[in-house]
């Protein structure tokens, strides 16, 4: 029996029409929220953009959220106690508009249940650039809740981002799991499959909304949602 099953969220359990549209709506609505709070939206958004980029290249010395605020506050000139309430307000309200580009996934709940059944620990290994509230909200769009899992990787938890293999190694270390005792389910060859392969973690590539980045993928176990469910059911 596996000790740990990890699964990506966006375009794996939660299908989105396009990742680019997700980012477009996210920044558009955050800018509006900054304006509502009397801040310069252009200055704040530029700082947020660089803060997000800093998270992607985080070297592990600080949690992603700390790296984000270090950069965003320095570039915008706004202190954390000014920016943070705006983002908290956004994620608890206007973030819901992202739902307009989310698709239904009738398999999500079944996959989540099998993750719990087939391993000691079940983890949502999503790009850790969002707070838990934002992750939980997205999960609810396909019938899931954060509390159904042992961990959801957030900007507060992780000190790395995909595709850095250390992002996955951090999860393994926290649960005391060896690479050959884990499985990663995802849709992205570069962000999910390749770094896990480097660590020796078993993988399953979901093909329904697959992103290849023009990288070879035939060597990875793969299939659509029903094939994934059959595979999980086959695990001892």
For residue 26, the model assigns a pLDDT of 87
* Pairing outcome for strands 182-186 and 151-152: unpaired
pTM: 0.95
Question: What is the tens place of the pLDDT at every residue in 149-176?
Answer: 999 999 999 999 999 999 999 999 999 9
Q: Determine the length of the chain.
A: 236
Helix (H, G, I), strand (E, B) or coil at 105: coil
- Here the tokens at position 170 are 């951090």
Above 80 in pLDDT, residue 124?
A: yes
Query: Per residue in 181-202, pLDDT tens?
Result: 999 999 999 999 999 999 999 9
Structural contact between residues 108 and 206, judged by C-beta atoms closer than 8 angstroms = no
Handedness of CA 91, 93, 96, 97 (dihedral sign): negative
Summarised one tens digit per residue, pLDDT across range 41-95 is 999 889 999 999 999 999 999 999 999 999 999 999 999 999 999 999 999 998 9
CA-angle at 164, arms to 159 and 166, nearest 5°: 55
Name residue 186's beta-bridge partners.
Answer: 205
Tokens found for residue 206 = 């979901």
Segments of the chain assigned E as strands: 2-7, 119-124, 151-152, 182-186, 202-206, 222-223
pLDDT at 18: 77
């Amino acid at each position: 029996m596996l000790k740990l099953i990890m699964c990506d969220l966006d375009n794996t359990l939660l299908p989105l029409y396009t990742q680019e549209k997700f980012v477009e709506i996210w920044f558009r609505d955050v800018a509006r929220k900054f304006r509502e709070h009397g801040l310069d939206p252009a200055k704040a958004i530029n700082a947020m953009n660089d803060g997000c980029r800093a998270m992607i290249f985080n070297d592990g010395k600080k949690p992603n959220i700390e790296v984000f605020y270090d950069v965003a506050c320095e570039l915008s000139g706004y202190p954390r106690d000014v920016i943070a309430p705006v983002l908290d307000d956004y994620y608890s309200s206007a973030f819901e508009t992202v739902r307009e580009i989310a698709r239904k996934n009738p398999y999500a709940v079944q996959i989540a249940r099998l993750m719990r059944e087939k391993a000691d620990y079940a983890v949502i290994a999503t790009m850790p650039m969002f707070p838990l509230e934002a992750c939980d909200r997205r999960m609810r769009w396909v019938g899931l809740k954060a509390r159904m899992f042992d961990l959801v990787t957030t900007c507060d938890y992780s000190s790395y981002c995909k595709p850095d293999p250390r992002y996955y190694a951090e999860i393994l270390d926290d649960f005391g799991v060896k690479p050959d005792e884990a499985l990663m389910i995802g849709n992205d060859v570069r962000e999910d499959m390749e770094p896990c392969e480097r660590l020796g973690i078993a993988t399953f590539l979901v093909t329904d909304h697959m992103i290849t980045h023009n990288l070879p993928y035939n060597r990875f176990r793969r299939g659509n949602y029903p094939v994934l469910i059959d595979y999980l059911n086959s695990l001892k």
